[in-house]
Amino acid sequence: MTGATRGIGHAIAVRFAREGCNVAFCGRSRNAAMEAVEQELNGILSALHSPLATPKAKGYACDVADYDSAQAFVKEVMADFGGIDILVNNAGITDDAAVKRMTEAQMDRVMHTNLGSVFCMTKAVQPVMWRQGHGSIVNIGSVVGIAGNYNQANYAASKAAIIGFSKSCAKEFAARNIRVNVVAPGFVETEMTADIPKELMDTWCSRIPMKRPGKADEVAQACLFLASDMCPYITSVVLPICGGMEDA
């Protein structure tokens, strides 16, 4: 999976490890945060499995928006783990501005990271899943990719594009038993949202029928469901996790 050093990605990695899945994850660099997550996941896995089994979690430094790095990442994962059953494309960034003030660089950077990473990782993992004859890809979109948002035209466009890309892959890969779905979180409390002023947070929450932001683990549970054998006939769906926000 991509981007598990913090936030929603971290919650997804923990949730999958608790279910006994080996987890290969990445962030842009190998740092203390990555090492801490690696240790945490290996702790969870060793508590679950018999001492004879060799479950594992491993972090890799990889900029997943770079085609060659994504190819190298998947090659290393194959050498270490021998197969890939699930791909969760979670890595993503924001760089907000009103369209009036948004620069071309801001537009390019967000599209390149958010959509580019999904393309690069899908290209790298698809041949593996194709050979295996099974696989599940879960792409993290956003309700903003369905409804749009003020000051986030670049981000909303990248997340809308992920939906179109995922639905096309779902059609192309279905015959090989590879499912592709999108989880679209609403407003989830993570570092990405930490800088939002409290008044704005309260206004947003007042518009959510459930009157609170989502939790990272609530997104993780949806990813686990879509990735798992609990839904072998579900592909090409966009599942909003947003407390009932009207325009999602």
Q: List contacts with ligand NAP (CB under 6 A).
A: 2-9, 26-28, 62-65, 90-93, 113, 117, 140, 142, 185, 187-188, 190-193
Residue number, 6 or 134, with CB nearest to ligand NAP: 6
Minimum distance from residue 214 beta carbon to ligand NAP (Å): 7
In DSSP notation, 145-207 reads HHH--TTBHHHHHHHHHHHHHHHHHHHHHGGGTEEEEEEEE-SB-SGGGTTS-HHHHHHHHHH
Contact 16, 55 (CB under 8 A): no
Which residues lie below 8 Å from residue 182, measured CB to CB, with a gap of 6+?
A: 138, 139, 140, 141, 162, 163, 166, 237, 238, 239
DSSP string across 82-96: S--SEEEE-------
CB of 118 to ligand NAP, least distance (A): 9
Tracing tokens 């690069």 back to the chain, one arrives at: 120
Residue 146: what residue type?
I
- Residue 49 or 189 having the CB closest to ligand NAP: 189
**CB 48 → ligand NAP: shortest distance, Å?**
24
Shortest distance (Å) from residue 127 CB to ligand NAP: 21
We find the least distance from the C-beta atom of residue 53 to ligand NAP, in angstroms, to be: 28
Q: Tell me the β-bridge partners of 138.
A: 88, 181
CA distances from 156 to 70, 186, 245 (A): 24, 12, 16
Sheet holding 178-185, edge to edge: 86-89, 135-140, 178-185, 238-241
Give 62 or 157: the residue with its C-beta nearer to ligand NAP: 62
Of 48 and 150, CB closest to ligand NAP:
150
Q: How far apart are CA 71 and CA 66, in angstroms?
A: 9
Closer residue to ligand NAP, CB minimum distance, 27 or 243: 27
For the CA atoms of 233, 238, 240, 245, the dihedral, rounded to the nearest 10 degrees, stands at -130
Q: Which residues are catalytic?
A: 155
Residue in the block written with tokens 């990735």: 227
